[in-house]
Amino acid sequence: MPDKVSIADKLGSFSDHWAPRIIARYNGNEVRIAKVDGEFIWHQHDSTDELFLIVEGELDMEFRDRTVTLRPGELIVVPKGTEHRPCARRGEVAMMIIDLEGTPNTGDELTATKAVEI
């Protein structure tokens, strides 16, 4: 039977940064949460789009030609093949990410932090 998931409780269960946690799955997708601080690496996902929803804090999503600032309750979908870099420059950010199952967070299995289920 399906059950609800408390995003706040799940976010409260860890403190490390840039280490995604899987909190739900549907239709071949993983709903992930992460806490981030500082700058991530430039990367892209060649075969899938990626959705970011900000829960707490303020995130800059950098693209090569512009930066989009996201605040709580705002989301952005990064189209497949688009180079991007998430940056939390004004303190810790809590966010939800929806990715195709098994998608590495860096776009490359060799450099990715493996998402773990909680």
- What confidence category does residue 102 fall into, taking pLDDT thresholds of 50, 70 and 90? confident
pTM: 0.90
Q: What is the DSSP string of 41-110?
A: --B--SS--EEEEEEES-EEEEETTEEEEE-TT-EEEE-TT--BEEEEEEEEEEEEEEEETT--TTS-TT
Question: CB of 20 within 8 A of CB of 32?
Answer: yes
Give the span between the Cα atoms of 115 and 19, in whole angstroms.
7
**Which range among 10-24, 42-56, 69-83, 103-117 shows the weakest confidence by mean pLDDT?**
103-117
Question: CB of 43 within 8 A of CB of 85?
Answer: yes
Domain spans in the chain, listed from the N-terminal domain onward: 7-117
Give the span between the Cα atoms of 40 and 88, in whole angstroms.
9
Average pLDDT of every residue of the chain: 92
pLDDT tens, residue by residue, 66-82: 999 999 999 999 999 99
Is the alpha carbon torsion for 57, 61, 67, 71 positive or negative? Answer: negative
Percent of the chain with pLDDT over 70: 97
Average the pLDDT over 25-41 and give the result. Answer: 95
Average the pLDDT over 87-111 and give the result. Answer: 87
Average the pLDDT over 29-52 and give the result. Answer: 94
Architecture of the CATH domain 7-117: Sandwich (2.60)
